[in-house]
Structure formats: structure tokens, C-alpha cells
Chains A and B, each alone.
Chain A
């Protein structure tokens, strides 16, 4: 003990004070400030998205239409890249030095420490070559994902395609999509996107200070599994589809076949089509641009987007609605002197003289005169003003699925056109118009527009004798094969079943007795159908054939459009006939030479014409053919109205 003993307390006091300072600091770091835990997790955690497999799509017989194929993305973490053989890497993934530098700069701009995409969608073959050398490229690694693959390269417009999400998609999805995700951009891929896409999983991986993977965080406690997208069962019959696409090769047009009893679409062809595999992979961008610039518009979904004047099929609808309205019955006879006189000097010509014509014969012969009378009765003889009678009639037309979208499960469907009476009232300047003002409507010309899908649907209604189901392409969703409720609803066309028989009889005779369609007749099957020709002021008329078969318990209703093909019986008829026979009997009995003629025909517009013809065809066709009501009215009294319809070329046969 000495005189400075008490300094012991000073020294101990300093020790305690410092210890308290340390404790206080620790209290701040460990208890008050939470950010460090976050930082520690950021250090060690790498959230890896596990992409779900997109739902596959099968045909009605469980054959694969779309499946998934593995591809690989090459990722790079710029900070880790050291002493690599750049030339070798460039050669392996087939890029040049410039491309390498650009990609590196982009990745570095994204983050020097985080992995970013260096090259996307590397094929399995390229990956196999790359993999051998991958260890030489520090900082590069590969992430696999899947892309769509189409084994039969068919049904492109039905399937649609997927593409990387854009900013708008991301915004609209409320953050569901992240940059680099894929989204259905058209077709079924788009309309069933939410079912097909599945649910992303998230894996929390740990890395060490050198960014080397170190296993799963917290034994996967916070991981979520990827849930594969629902599979879809399409109503398409893949074999029928392949056949239809082959038949439609080098032709512009559509084929739509519907199973009447369900509304399931068996065949959905828009021609020209494209190989859906072109919309996948690295060259997608170029292929897409090529197609956009293709004058034949392969991206245009003709069955639901092209609108044509209905032509002959409209007589079927007119006959049915007129019976239901009571203005005619099956025994009603009109005399056909070779045309319908609707004004003093105005005649709507029939190309032949049918004489006294009853309902069955009118359908069989596609008599214009008959339907001129029918239309006149509908509009003029119901004790109503023209516009009122017209609207009543229009209502009946709408029930046949005309003039509005049918609600198919594809985006971009158009509704065709059946103008309201106000359209004419406005055009004529007053309400005192009669059937003679727009008589061309009687035979499906004029302002009417119909899509191939609507036409096939009219056939389905006739086949069903009075009702239809909304045509659809997906008949089952997920493992339980759920059918959307809207597709099980039976929709009435508003005409009683008994009125269908004469019409069906007429259609049956047109095919089996008329002699006009020898190449259309199918041995052993009573097909009911009609040829039609849609006038096209820009060139060759469009060939149409619509039918259903067999007459009793119909299994298939079909509409075939071949643009610029001239007479319907030459092209559209045989195509429809072959498809129906193939579907019902799984054979084709049509003589080989006719088949070959069709397979080999090239009905694409001539190249020098393409600029104008293609552009206007067929989207703008309606606009050009449709005269304003005033124009029609002006010409109505002056001279005969020349109407081109299915019978125009009959004599040429």
C-alpha cells in the first residue's frame, strides 16, 4: 500500500467505462439497428427463380401439339471474369468480338457483382459444345429454362406464341412478371396465359464471400416450389389439322371445322400459316419481322379476323328466319324467270331460269330470285315500316351468331357485320325505305360481313337443327380436364327444328343430286353443303364451301374459304369434302388427280400485284365492296344491279 492506492479506483473506473462503451455500442449494433441482419442475408443469399414448366397442349386424341424443350441462358458476373479466352467463347456461342464487348458492357452496367444474361436461349447443341469449355470461363455460368417446341409445326395461329414481357406487361401484372419472363402474346398462349404459366418458385441459395454456391439457406425453409402450368386439351384433331394445312398450302384462306354437338373446333386453319417453331429461339426477332413484312400476312388470323360477304350461306339463314317469321313455309313457291325485278328497271339477276321454285329447290339451286322475294316479304309484308321489319329480321340474324363475336377462346376475334336499320335510315335520309333499297342483302351481299368461323358455326346450327355451342379450341383444362362453363351453354338460334328439314334437304341435294359437285360427293356419307362464291372486285372471287355431315347425327360442320380461287366447287368443295371424309371415314376416295391438283395449286396472288391486292385483301374487301346505302339507292332505280354470287359461274362448270 502506498500513497497512490486510490488511483486503483481510477484505473478500474476507466476499465469499467470502456467496457460500458463497448456494451452500448454492441447494443446499438445488435439490438437497435436491424439493417445488419438484412445486409448479412444480402451477402449470403442468392435468390434463384425456379421457372415453372409452361403447360403443354394436347390435341383431342392426346397427341402433343406444344411441348417444352430445354434451352440455356449464359449468365455472366462481370467482376469474376478473369483471363478468359474471349475468342474461344465468341466462337462457341457464335458471336463476334464487338458483340462480346457490347454484352459485357451491358452486363457491367446492370451490376458488376450480380449475374446478368450474356446470351439467351442457347440451343442444346450449342450448350453441349460450350459445356466442355465452360470451366475455362470464370464468371460465366449457365442457367437452363424451357422454350416452346412444336413437334408437327402446325396450328400456328391457334397456338399463338410467347414472347418476353415488355414494360407494359410488367406494369399491368402488378409485378407478377419480371423482366426476362415470357408471356403468351397471341392465340391460346395468350388467352390461357394465366393457366399455362404456372407459378414461379424461389430458391434461397447461399454463397460465400467469393460468390461460390454454398447450399440451401435455412434448409429450404423459405423456398417455394415452382408449380407447372396447367396442361390444356385442345379440341383440334391433329391429323385433320395437318391435312387441312397441307391442302391450304400456297393458298390464302381459312378452314374451320366444328363438332356441332359440342362446339369443339376440329380444324382451325389460317393460310398462309407459318412454322410456330420460328417464333422460338434466337432468330425469333428476325423471323417475326419477316412475317410482319410478308405481303400474304401470315400473322393475320383469317378464320376469326377476316370478314367476307356471306354469299350463299346467307340464303340458308334467310330461309330459316323467314319460315320462323311465318312469311314463307316449305311449300311457298316463287317463280324464277331468271331474275328478281325489284324496281321498274331494276333486276337482281339469277344466272339461270329456275321457273317455279320451292324452298328445297331454292337452296339446292341457290336461286337469287327466290330470296329476293323472301327478303321483300320479310321487310315489306309484315305490317311494319321498313326499318322496324329490318330490325326484327336483324335480331333473328344475330341469333345465328352473325354480326357479333362468338366468343371463341382466342384473342382478336372480329364480329363480322350486320348493320342496324339506323345505318340505312341515315344513308337514305329517311325511314321510308323498303326491301328494294338494299335488296342485295337478300343474297348475302352488300354490307354484310361474316367470318369463316361464323360460317362454320351457321353450319353447326343447321346440323344441330337449331342451336350451337360457342365454338372453342380448348376442351379441357388441367388434370381434371375442366371445360369452361361458357362453352357448355346451349345457345338457341331462335328457329324451330322443324323448319330446318327443307333447308337440309336442299343442301343435301346440292351436294348429292345437283350434279354440280361431283368432286364433292363422298361415297357412303350424306353430306349436306353448298358451294358459294364471294365476289371480290379486286380480282378473282373467293371460293367458299360450307357443309355438315352426315345428315343424321352430324359429326362435323365445316367452312372452307379459298381467296382468289374463283368458283367454290373447284377448290373449296374438294378441300371440304376430303376433310370431312378423312374425319368420318379416315380415308379419302377422291381421285388422286383431283387431290394432286389441289395440293399443287398455287393460288397466291402474283408477286407484282401483291402490293395492292394483298393489302386490301381480305381486311379491306368489305369496305371496298360496300357501297354506301345512298349510292345503292341512287343506282337502284336506274339499271339492273349486277350481283355476283355462287351461281354466276355455274354455267362455266
Chain B
């Protein structure tokens, strides 16, 4: 019986992931309902409201998911380049015919809905990256492959930046995990990456010359420690020079490249700026909402911050405020656990794939979901600057829900074929 089930189509689908996915969609729906809930007009189910529309989106997402599961997985592989090109064209099109909402030209109106091509950009970039790296899988990782792979990622990033939608563009960079997993990047790279982030923050917080001075001292200390080998001394020297240039570069980039509102967001998160009524309003209200939830929250539909619109964008980017306020620490941790379970599960799924394509794709999915999860929740609780990206499956919005659903279900489709089909 067990064996039979395992071999059947349904039995090969990873129901745990689907369960987690559906749970997240439901949590999303309830919280969108709470976010737009108007106590003066409690009303009945209404399709004009955000939660009404979200019901449709979820329903459609289920159908889309089902369709994906019955399509032959080889279809996705063979159409990957076409899909990529199609979405790239959409990303170009949105710059021409798109509707400008909140300063970002990111939406193409289709009837009463608006399509956000950048959401699908992540999907096709994942696919094409998997497609390309799969073709190179017989070779040992090399610079050329890394370069082409990077280009595949940077091309849509460039287009999204033109909208300009910095948040969505940043999400593409999460694919760095894919390159890391496939051996294109070394552990050293991760360490250097972490160091770069650390230095970035420090450079903004501390006077750059003092920081460089500290690094000089550290470098001398390490040189003294590892002076036996000349190579070490050179490496440390190079690292010092690179760090110094980087620190000076940070300041330059910060002042010259970042836009004022981005600078403000960073300043606020670093505590260099205090403006709870102006620039920091969103973050401040968001923290108030979440913080006031305390252990068990105020209860469903009882969040005053949520109900009375103190938090802006509360059904989309700041949806986690509603979770934090109405469900409290317990509910928030529960949601985080679901996410973490999903992410770890996807990594496990990735590793059980027999094809390089599926594995790379799976890591891409995990990376993108992780990035959204971290940045979105992180910004609402004030550990990363405010970056306007949705919380997958939870935030209100059709494009976002569909693209993440497609992203995830294509993975599940690959996963379901891993035994029956063997090598593709």
C-alpha cells in the first residue's frame, strides 16, 4: 500500500511543503482581513476589499499550482529560455506602458488587476540560472560559467533598477547562495561578504579615518602573528588595502549613489536619525504595532494600530505588523517557525534531486524566499532598512502570490518526478 502510494502521482508530491504553503496563504488572508477591517462596517464577505480579492488570488493560486503539477516537468525546462525572454520583454514593456505607483513604474494594468513583471523576473531568472548551470554541470566550476551566470542574474536586475524598484532588484542578489552551493564561490567569499556588510555598517557609524586606523592596527597585529609565511603578509596587506578603499568607497556610494530617502532609511535603522513623525514614521508605527502585541497579542481584529491605519502599507509590505500586534510573540514565532521549516524543507528537497537543474532551481527558490522573509520581517522590526518587498504568500497582491506559488510548485513538480523519471 505504502509502496503503491509512493509510486502514484499524488504520493510523489511533497505534501508537507504544500501544507506549509497553504497555511501561509491562510495566515496571509486572515491578516489582510484584519489589516483592512473597518470596525464601523464589519460587513460580510466583500470581493471589493483586499481580503476579498486575496481570496480570489488564493483560489487562482491553487488552480495554478494544480496546473503546474500536472504539466510535464520537462516542459518547464524546455521553455525556460523562452519564458526568460518573455519576462525580460515584459520588464522592458513596463518601463514604457507601465503604471507608476508610488514612484515605481512597476505595474502593467490588465483589466482591474495589475501585473508586476518583476515578481516573475525572479522566477525566470531562477529557471534560466538552473538551465545554464545544468549545461555546465560536467565541468568543474570556473570563472567563465560564474560570469555568464552572474550576467543572467544582473540583466533583469538592471531592468528592475530602471523602474526603479530597488527592493525587488536586491532580491535577485540572494541567488548568491546558489553560486555558493554549486562551488562557484568559496567559503572565504562568504566571510568576506559578511565582513563587507560589517564594514559597511561601521563605516557609516564611525568616522572613516578612525575605522581605517583600527584596521591598520588589526592588520599589523595579524602580520605579526602570521609573519612566518610571506604569503600571509601579502594577503593581509591586500585585505587592508581593499578594506580601506572599500570604507572610503562606502562613504562615497552612500553620499553619491543612494537616493535621499534610502539614506534616511539607513540612518534611521542605524539610529543616526530620529524622526518618528517624518522619515521614521513607518518604522516607528510598525515597531509600536508589533511591540504592543506582547506575548499573546491583542487578538484577531483587535489590533488598534492595524485597525485604525496607523501603520501604512499594512496589507502589503507591513503585513507582519498585523501578525505581531494581533497574535503577539507567540503567533510571530509560530509564523517564523513555519517559514523556517519551509526553507529548510526546500533545501532538503534540493539535495534529494537527482538532476542538477532541479537542485539549482530549488536553491534559487530557497534563496529568494529566504531573502524576502528576512528583509520583509527585518524591516518591520527595525533590523534592516525599510525596503519595499512583500512577505511571500502572506502579503496582499496577486502578482506576488502567483509568482511565489509558481516558483514553489515548479519545484514540487520537479521533486515529484525525481524517482519515476530518473535522469532527464
Bound-state CA distance A19–B305 (Å) is 25
A interface: dominant SS: helix
| Size class of the contact patch on chain B | 35 or more
- In the complex, the answer to whether A23 meets B39 with C-beta atoms within 8 Å is no
**Contact residues in A for B183 (Cβ distance below 8 Å):** 2-4, 7
Q: Decide yes or no: A22 and B289 within 8 Å by CB, A4-B181, A15-B343 being known contacts.
A: no
- In the complex, the answer to whether B304 meets A26 with C-beta atoms within 8 Å is no
Of the residues A25, A37, A207, contact of B381 by C-beta under 8 Å: A25
- In the complex, the answer to whether B370 meets A206 with C-beta atoms within 8 Å is no
User: Is B205 located at the chain interface by the 8 A CB criterion?
Assistant: no
- Chain A nearest CB, measured from B357 CB (Å): 13
- In the complex, the answer to whether B294 meets A31 with C-beta atoms within 8 Å is yes
- In the complex, the answer to whether A11 meets B378 with C-beta atoms within 8 Å is no
**Contact residues in B for A36 (Cβ distance below 8 Å):** 287-292
- In the complex, the answer to whether B381 meets A22 with C-beta atoms within 8 Å is yes
Bound-state CA distance A2–B310 (Å) is 51
- Chain A nearest CB, measured from B382 CB (Å): 8
**Contact residues in B for A27 (Cβ distance below 8 Å):** 329
**Contact residues in B for A31 (Cβ distance below 8 Å):** 294-295, 329
Nearest chain-A residue to B311 (Cβ)? A209
**Contact residues in A for B288 (Cβ distance below 8 Å):** 36, 39-40, 43
- In the complex, the answer to whether B310 meets A208 with C-beta atoms within 8 Å is yes
Q: Decide yes or no: A26 and B333 within 8 Å by CB, A18-B374, A39-B292, A40-B305 being known contacts.
A: yes
B166-212 interface (Cβ within 8 A of A): 177, 180-183, 187, 190
User: Is B93 located at the chain interface by the 8 A CB criterion?
Assistant: no
User: Is A614 located at the chain interface by the 8 A CB criterion?
Assistant: no
A39-83 interface (Cβ within 8 A of B): 39-41, 43-44
Bound-state CA distance A15–B182 (Å) is 18
Q: Decide yes or no: A30 and B308 within 8 Å by CB, A7-B180, A12-B344 being known contacts.
A: no
Of the residues B289, B291, B304, B339, contact of A35 by C-beta under 8 Å: B291
- In the complex, the answer to whether A10 meets B190 with C-beta atoms within 8 Å is yes
User: Is B383 located at the chain interface by the 8 A CB criterion?
Assistant: yes
Q: Decide yes or no: A22 and B329 within 8 Å by CB, A4-B181, A12-B347, A31-B294 being known contacts.
A: no
**Contact residues in A for B324 (Cβ distance below 8 Å):** 26, 29-30
B320-334 interface (Cβ within 8 A of A): 324-325, 328-329, 332-333
Bound-state CA distance A16–B190 (Å) is 16
**Contact residues in B for A3 (Cβ distance below 8 Å):** 183
User: Is A214 located at the chain interface by the 8 A CB criterion?
Assistant: yes
Bound-state CA distance A11–B374 (Å) is 14
Q: Decide yes or no: A22 and B336 within 8 Å by CB, A7-B180, A37-B292 being known contacts.
A: yes
Chain B 332-367 interface 0/1 with A at a Cβ cutoff of 8 Å (1 = within): 110011011001100100110000000000010010
Bound-state CA distance A3–B137 (Å) is 12
- In the complex, the answer to whether B310 meets A209 with C-beta atoms within 8 Å is yes
Q: Decide yes or no: A26 and B332 within 8 Å by CB, A18-B370, A31-B295 being known contacts.
A: yes
User: Is B309 located at the chain interface by the 8 A CB criterion?
Assistant: yes
User: Is B48 located at the chain interface by the 8 A CB criterion?
Assistant: no
User: Is B293 located at the chain interface by the 8 A CB criterion?
Assistant: yes
- Chain B nearest CB, measured from A213 CB (Å): 10
Of the residues A8, A16, A26, contact of B329 by C-beta under 8 Å: A26
Bound-state CA distance A387–B366 (Å) is 111
Of the residues A12, A16, A41, A214, contact of B40 by C-beta under 8 Å: A214
- In the complex, the answer to whether B289 meets A40 with C-beta atoms within 8 Å is yes
**Contact residues in A for B329 (Cβ distance below 8 Å):** 26-27, 30-31
User: Is A485 located at the chain interface by the 8 A CB criterion?
Assistant: no
User: Is B377 located at the chain interface by the 8 A CB criterion?
Assistant: yes
- Chain A nearest CB, measured from B182 CB (Å): 7
Q: Decide yes or no: A8 and B340 within 8 Å by CB, A206-B308, A208-B308, A209-B309 being known contacts.
A: no
User: Is A539 located at the chain interface by the 8 A CB criterion?
Assistant: no
Q: Which of A23, A30, A35 has most chain B Cβ within 10 Å?
A: A30
Of the residues B187, B190, B333, B381, contact of A29 by C-beta under 8 Å: B381
- In the complex, the answer to whether B309 meets A210 with C-beta atoms within 8 Å is yes
Interface residues of A, count at CB 8 A: 40
Bound-state CA distance A538–B173 (Å) is 103
- Chain A nearest CB, measured from B372 CB (Å): 12
Q: Decide yes or no: A30 and B291 within 8 Å by CB, A4-B182, A215-B39 being known contacts.
A: yes
Bound-state CA distance A287–B36 (Å) is 55
Of the residues B308, B328, B343, contact of A44 by C-beta under 8 Å: B308
Bound-state CA distance A1–B381 (Å) is 38
A78-136 interface (Cβ within 8 A of B): none
- In the complex, the answer to whether A21 meets B383 with C-beta atoms within 8 Å is yes
Q: Decide yes or no: A30 and B310 within 8 Å by CB, A36-B291, A43-B304 being known contacts.
A: no
- In the complex, the answer to whether A30 meets B190 with C-beta atoms within 8 Å is no
Nearest chain-A residue to B382 (Cβ)? A25
- Chain A nearest CB, measured from B102 CB (Å): 18
**Contact residues in A for B39 (Cβ distance below 8 Å):** 214-215
**Contact residues in A for B333 (Cβ distance below 8 Å):** 23, 26
- In the complex, the answer to whether B294 meets A30 with C-beta atoms within 8 Å is yes
Bound-state CA distance A215–B382 (Å) is 31
- Chain B nearest CB, measured from A156 CB (Å): 49
User: Is A596 located at the chain interface by the 8 A CB criterion?
Assistant: no
Bound-state CA distance A18–B174 (Å) is 14
Nearest chain-A residue to B177 (Cβ)? A11
Bound-state CA distance A261–B332 (Å) is 78
**Contact residues in A for B381 (Cβ distance below 8 Å):** 22, 25-26, 29
**Contact residues in B for A44 (Cβ distance below 8 Å):** 304-305, 308, 310
User: Is A33 located at the chain interface by the 8 A CB criterion?
Assistant: yes
A163-210 interface (Cβ within 8 A of B): 206-210
Nearest chain-A residue to B290 (Cβ)? A29
Bound-state CA distance A207–B377 (Å) is 27
**Contact residues in A for B328 (Cβ distance below 8 Å):** 30
**Contact residues in B for A11 (Cβ distance below 8 Å):** 177, 180-181, 347, 363, 366
User: Is A593 located at the chain interface by the 8 A CB criterion?
Assistant: no
Bound-state CA distance A209–B295 (Å) is 24
- Chain A nearest CB, measured from B103 CB (Å): 21
**Contact residues in A for B325 (Cβ distance below 8 Å):** 40
A592-608 interface (Cβ within 8 A of B): none
**Contact residues in B for A25 (Cβ distance below 8 Å):** 381-383
- Chain A nearest CB, measured from B295 CB (Å): 6
Of the residues A21, A30, A207, A215, contact of B293 by C-beta under 8 Å: A30
**Contact residues in B for A43 (Cβ distance below 8 Å):** 285, 288, 304-305, 308, 310
**Contact residues in B for A214 (Cβ distance below 8 Å):** 39-40, 307-308
- Chain B nearest CB, measured from A247 CB (Å): 62
Chain B 355-397 interface 0/1 with A at a Cβ cutoff of 8 Å (1 = within): 0000000010010001000100110011100000000000000
Bound-state CA distance A413–B401 (Å) is 83
**Contact residues in A for B289 (Cβ distance below 8 Å):** 36, 40
Bound-state CA distance A573–B177 (Å) is 112
Bound-state CA distance A251–B336 (Å) is 88
Q: Decide yes or no: A19 and B339 within 8 Å by CB, A12-B344, A44-B304, A215-B39 being known contacts.
A: yes
**Contact residues in B for A208 (Cβ distance below 8 Å):** 307-310
Of the residues B181, B343, B344, B374, contact of A22 by C-beta under 8 Å: B374
**Contact residues in A for B336 (Cβ distance below 8 Å):** 19, 22-23, 26
**Contact residues in B for A215 (Cβ distance below 8 Å):** 39-40
Bound-state CA distance A37–B182 (Å) is 47
- In the complex, the answer to whether A22 meets B287 with C-beta atoms within 8 Å is no
Bound-state CA distance A210–B183 (Å) is 54
In the assembled complex, 17 residue pairs joining A and B whose CB atoms fall closer than 8 Å, in A order, are A5-B351, A8-B181, A10-B187, A11-B366, A19-B337, A22-B374, A25-B381, A25-B382, A29-B324, A31-B329, A39-B292, A40-B304, A40-B305, A44-B304, A206-B308, A208-B307, A209-B309
The 9 closest A-B pairs by CB, nearest first: A36-B291, A208-B308, A40-B292, A44-B304, A30-B329, A29-B291, A37-B292, A209-B309, A4-B183
Given A41-B292, A209-B310, A210-B309; 9 other pairs, CB 8 A cutoff: A15-B343, A16-B344, A18-B374, A25-B383, A29-B324, A30-B291, A36-B291, A43-B304, A214-B40
